Structure 1
């Protein structure tokens, strides 16, 4: 399956804008394009889906073993072309090897055979950009390299000078994007705002597509695509933890990895969405309730007032499992303190008290060995996931859910906790660890 990896020397260079415009432009040209995201990101795939109409999936060689990798790459069946968006800089990764690798976008591109399109912000430089691009091309000579797209070009003279540098380095220039202030997507503390919150996302993406058509050689870009064959008999995606799964889905709870939902549905599960922000209770016939991560700290007052949601959750927890991840875990606790210091009552199914006022950055891969049951997994199971939040734990009186370590094997204090049928973790589940 031929594809391309859209990457950059660092974050903030404009690769997401390029990615979304490219997905939409290709789709409008009749190309069935399959999007992917390299690394542990649950916000960008929703933007990809809206841009091209196909669900986007994460590929992550630190967290994922060969079986899950094959199952996810097989989602490209029926597509004409794959386009993947990298995370951070092209070679950025962790220091300790995971299930297959270190988690860099370069590893994803090399494993899939997708040539790299390097998006370079040339603001404040000209010929010097070629030295950066040449360094990225030669850092790993085995990595396929398609060429570069200049971003934030100030003038025709600026373009001419930057092109001279690339000609000297022998690197193809696939596009030149003039500087435009309206091409920046709004962000908040965990990155981009969610796709469902963008005031007019479809029109914005259509604008990106038109912009790319004007300034990128689309034919050369497509001609540069390459790749490895898809697996002929791929394994199945992760199985569902129950038959009927009530899942919170609104602006406060939306962070779930797409391969999990796809696997649950492919495994015959019935997904029953409900909105805590709309004060909806989980479906009374659900076997489990799953509260994904999201932004409960931005909606704490509304969640505290959602009596129907809270009462329905408590009734379910009397006899059946409830699990929360990150923001969902916070919502299951006793209280959440917002950025102004106001204390808001949460569901009270766990003793957890968290504070967004006392902010601390928690970021990184997690390996967790369960100490108790978690929906779909028995004690002793090793899980791989990722943690990304700013909230701090003030109280956690319940028994720990798991022994949790970072990518380098260091213990972390965010162990999760459980009480009765209720459990929660600060890490977002990616997969069960595969046998070596």
Structure 2
């Protein structure tokens, strides 16, 4: 049975991803098979997990997915030696209203699967108080078991000693303490970490993180504290309908936000995925029956997208007879225009009237529940779709017929309804699952 652990923290930005990658690579270097997962809606971390382990990582989400779907997804870890689930935000951070099987908190996954938690604690600017925080997290929900902590960014041996003593007095195991080490800092941009595929030196960075963590953390003690997990058979697989039989999928640095479980579900249902690169001025495959433009970073490549006439004309020709759908950044590219952060306006595909601007930045973040008012590829009117929205653009115009009635996690109706015109549809949210 695989050893199982959840890597979490009191908050974002304290080193969960770095520790997860380091542990995964360090154990892989010892000859162990490591399977990673990501709790919550995140596109970027699973690609780093795959780089560290050599195995595809997928998201599990208690707000959007039912227990059967989560069980199906995590069952891929059954043939591994170690399972690591990286959390999002703080351990208990989720939304106010419960979703399908929880609030989206990492603690939901830890409790549901019975996986013990390793906390990453950054004691910068404090000492014994770090033990009070760890003890509070340990005791907050009885069914969530704390295996121990790893200290990150300790200032000095004296600082480490103060924190260790307090944690020991609280009965909390300390697996190790990491001094500050700039060489393993992962580069960031406005939506999070710079993607793994954009970093030529990512393998070396992960190797250095693994070496550093192995030097300062007792890897054997961490494994000894892990749970022994036996995967349970799931009654049903993924509740995902492919948008077509042969799917032309935009896939490059501007269109990279695709949940791995979605692509796997499409293929499992018999669909064929044909990637193409708008940045390379490629048009969707003419033999496809649907075109899908995922989100990503089109705002960083808006000038090139606008200049790539073959892509835009090919997309327009495709949409004359077959459905085209865009999610978030893909939706923006289907629109009339996109204004970049420098205030320069770029003409997009014009299949929809949407106009967006990154010069007027406003963060849109949160879970979304949409009830379709019209069909979109793979889903009929009335379908209830669960997803997640995360972008910094401002809507300048959204003149087309709304695609859906969209609520946030509290049930409040929001303005980002998505659009439809002819064969083109688009949403600001990224689809995670359909309600059964």
Fold match (TM-score > 0.5): yes
Shorter-chain TM range is over 0.9
The answer on whether the counterparts of 1:112 and 1:227 sit within 8 Å (CA) in structure 2 is: no
- Residue 163 (structure 1) shift: 1.0
Number of the residue aligned with 1:328: 330
User: Which secondary structure does the structure 2 equivalent of 1:150 belong to?
Assistant: strand
User: Which secondary structure does the structure 2 equivalent of 1:289 belong to?
Assistant: strand
Alignment partner of 1:374 is 2:376: yes
Q: TM-score, normalised by structure 1?
A: 0.97
Alignment partner of 1:132 is 2:133: yes
Distance in 2 (alpha carbons) for counterparts of 1:120 and 1:401: 44
- Residue 227 (structure 1) shift: 5.0
Number of the residue aligned with 2:21: 20
* Aligned-CA RMSD value: 1.1
User: Which secondary structure does the structure 1 equivalent of 2:386 belong to?
Assistant: strand
Distance 1:227 1:382, change over 3 A: farther
Distance in 2 (alpha carbons) for counterparts of 1:362 and 1:48: 26
- Residue 418 (structure 1) shift: 0.6
Distance in 2 (alpha carbons) for counterparts of 1:396 and 1:142: 46
- Residue 234 (structure 1) shift: 4.4
Q: Which moved more, 1:311-320 or 1:408-417?
A: 311-320
Distance in 1 (alpha carbons) for counterparts of 2:19 and 2:92: 19
- Residue 78 (structure 1) shift: 1.6
Number of the residue aligned with 2:89: 88
Distance in 2 (alpha carbons) for counterparts of 1:248 and 1:154: 46
Number of the residue aligned with 1:222: 223
User: Which secondary structure does the structure 1 equivalent of 2:135 belong to?
Assistant: helix
Structure 1's unaligned 5+ residue stretches are none
Number of the residue aligned with 1:48: 49
Q: How does 1:275-290 map to 2 (within 5 A)?
A: 275-290=277-292
The answer on whether the counterparts of 2:116 and 2:147 sit within 8 Å (CA) in structure 1 is: yes
- Residue 228 (structure 1) shift: 4.6
- Residue 8 (structure 1) shift: 0.4
Tell me the alpha carbon deviations over residues 39-97 of structure 1, each in whole angstroms, 9 at most, x when there is no partner.
11111111111110111111111111233222212222321221010000001111101
Number of the residue aligned with 2:295: 293
The answer on whether the counterparts of 1:369 and 1:402 sit within 8 Å (CA) in structure 2 is: yes
Q: How does 1:53-72 map to 2 (within 5 A)?
A: 53-72=54-73
Distance in 1 (alpha carbons) for counterparts of 2:100 and 2:3: 25
How many residues of Structure 1 are paired with residues of Structure 2 in the alignment? 434
Distance in 2 (alpha carbons) for counterparts of 1:108 and 1:206: 28
Distance in 1 (alpha carbons) for counterparts of 2:221 and 2:81: 16
Select the residue among 390, 409, 424 that pairs with 1:422: 424
Distance in 2 (alpha carbons) for counterparts of 1:266 and 1:310: 30
Distance 1:291 1:338, change over 3 A: same
Q: TM-score, normalised by structure 2?
A: 0.97
The answer on whether the counterparts of 2:78 and 2:230 sit within 8 Å (CA) in structure 1 is: no
Q: Which moved more, 1:150-159 or 1:66-75?
A: 66-75
Distance 1:14 1:315, change over 3 A: same
Number of the residue aligned with 1:396: 398
Q: Which moved more, 1:395-404 or 1:175-184?
A: 175-184
Number of the residue aligned with 2:340: 338
Tell me the alpha carbon deviations over residues 313-347 of structure 1, each in whole angstroms, 9 at most, x when there is no partner.
11111111110000000000000011111110000
Number of the residue aligned with 1:156: 157
